[in-house]
Amino acid sequence: MIKVLFIGDIIGAIGRAAVKIIVPKLRRELKPDLVIANAENIAHGVGVTANTLQEALAAGVDYCTSGNHVFARPGNDQLLNDEKWRLLRPANYPAGADGIGEKVINISQKNILLINLLGRVFIDASLDCPFRAFDHIMEKYASQKIDATIVDFHAEATSEKVAFKFYADGRATAILGTHTHIVTADEHITQRGTAYISDVGMVGAVDSVIGVKPEAAVSNFLELDASQPLEPADKGACLFNAALITIDTKIKKATEIKRINQLIS
């Protein structure tokens, strides 16, 4: 058996501070073999930087996934192309994009295939199909010994995430939804042994609109012009959302998925 701790989207400074407090504690208590976090909003709410990634890695995160904001900041291409930052970008970006979309991680003498995919509904239809990208990756590693396959499906539409669950059921060991920053209560193990949740949630301010200051978000909805710049909320209590997945690597199936919701006041 191995345990994987998957952390929802880390939002800005308040999210990074929570990770520094909670991840070492969870590593001691739960003893996960692998800790993964979605880091596409780790730098002031949008994108990544070397310093912010370093904070997450130093706190005990082993590998980071991302999403549609991963190229938001200058220099992100250098981070994605340097293995030491352990950062993935969605695999279904067009050919030639910087970085990689999947990685085989050796943990406790087990090979864990981590895949990052980006949905297209309400995001960017010009992306390659995430369903077909998953097929291509699975074919690529078909001849290798893979003990578990974990997918971060970063998507806006719940329907797209659920549809992908049925498409990859039994082939992916775990499918963890990210992007909406709101944790869902549908975690379960399918009959074919895939752990699934539509959205793991976020590590961000409680008094926020999915991690950003509410004043500008409310104004933009009232005016319907989105003219107010969105800034990450950085005060008050912080919510830490994650999921713990237990995997039987002998049969390559998940046996348990458990939501982890903690509050730092």
Q: Does the annotation mark 44 as catalytic? A: no
d(CA 66, CA 38): 5
181 marked as part of a ligand binding site? yes
Q: How far is CA 215 from CA 10, 208, 229, 232, in A?
A: 21, 9, 10, 11
How far is the C-alpha of 229 from the C-alpha of 53, rounded, in Å?
A: 24
At residue 180, what is the residue type?
T
Q: Check whether 179 is labelled as a binding-site residue.
A: yes
- With H, G, I as helix, E, B as strand and everything else as coil, classify residue 29: helix
CA distance linking residue 11 with residue 8, whole number of Å = 9
- Is 106 within any annotated ligand binding site? no
In the three-class reduction of DSSP (H, G, I as helix; E, B as strand; rest coil), residue 154 is classed as: strand
> What six digits make up the tokens of 243?
């999921």
Give the number of C-alpha atoms closer than 13 A to the C-alpha of residue 109, restricted to the C-beta side: 2
> How far from chain centre, in Å, is Cα 37?
5
Long-range contacts of 23-27 (CB under 8 A, 24+ apart): 23/59, 23/60, 23/61, 24/59, 24/60, 26/242, 26/260, 27/60
Is residue 44 annotated as involved in ligand binding?
Answer: no
Asked if residue 148 lies in contact with residue 112, where contact means CB atoms within 8 angstroms, the answer is yes
Q: Are strands 174-178 and 148-154 parallel, antiparallel or unpaired?
A: parallel
Catalytic residue among 44, 69, 136, 188: 69
> Residues marked as binding for Fe cation?
9, 40-41, 68, 154, 179, 181
Feature table: binding site: 9, 40-41, 68, 154, 179, 181
Residues identified as active-site: 69
